[in-house]
Amino acid sequence: MAGGPFDPEFDALPRTIPIFPLSGALLLPGGRLPLNIFEPRYLAMVADAIRSDRIVGMIQPAEPETSGRTPRVEDVGCAGRIVAFSETADGRYLITLRGLLRFKLGEELPTIGGYRRVVANWDPFAADMIEPGEVHYDRKRLEKAARHYFVRQSMSLDVGAIDKLDDVSLVTALSMLCPFATVEKQALLEATDHAARAELLTGLIEMAALGGDVGDEGQRH
């Protein structure tokens, strides 16, 4: 999970970042998240990010959005850097975020252009930017469970592509791809390390493959 050549150093990370509360969307360090942006406030957010450091904080709402009330968000999110960007003829942005590191939510600042901004506490997750060493988990067990799970979900699984992923990238990709409930995605995000995330992911997939319910309220951009 090597960092990108244009990723900032830890000491150069911004103190404040825009946040994109999006239920059901999980970004993890090293992962890539494509987004279709069309709401005016998030169009403004992306435009401002492109003009500055390209960093956006993905975070899950802790409660539904209601008219006239700003919903609470979770305490931990993941910052990503915009690594791909294009415009559409009907006024949308198509972007891809590459996960940098997680952050702890700090003070919320006044909105700009309708989007939310927060002070990001990076310190608890500084290790996210360090190349991980060997990660020990039962990869064969995870792959077996994933095959059963994808069949049950009527989803296709590119076995050849899976085989080419290293151990950390496999856990990251499956965690982001599987349509788990919001609370489960948040648990995967907040896992203490890669081994703990792999163990949690394996358990979630095995439970779902055996008939447990998974799913979420869907993504909105």
Threshold 0.85, pTM exceeds: yes
Helices (DSSP H) in the chain: which residue ranges? 40-51, 139-152, 159-164, 167-177, 182-189, 194-209
With beta carbons less than 8 A apart as the criterion, state whether 201 and 22 touch: no
The encoded tokens of residue 186 equal 């948040």
Structural fold of domain 12-129: 2.30.130
Domain ranges of the chain: 12-129, 139-209
pLDDT at 112: 93
Burial of 178 (0-12, 13-18, 19+ CB in 10 A): buried
With beta carbons less than 8 A apart as the criterion, state whether 148 and 18 touch: no
CB atoms within 10 A of CB 151: 12
pLDDT tens for the chain, residues 1 to 221: 557 788 999 999 999 999 999 998 999 999 999 999 999 999 999 999 999 999 999 999 998 777 667 889 999 999 999 999 999 999 999 999 999 999 999 999 999 999 999 999 999 999 999 988 788 999 999 999 999 999 888 888 887 888 899 999 999 999 999 999 999 999 999 999 999 999 999 999 999 988 754 444 434 34
**What secondary structure letter does DSSP report for 73?**
B
- CB burial of 7-16 (b: ≥16 within 10 Å; e: otherwise) equals bbebeebeee
| DSSP SS3 for 168 | helix
**Element containing residue 176 per DSSP (H, E):** helix 167-177
**What secondary structure letter does DSSP report for 66?**
B
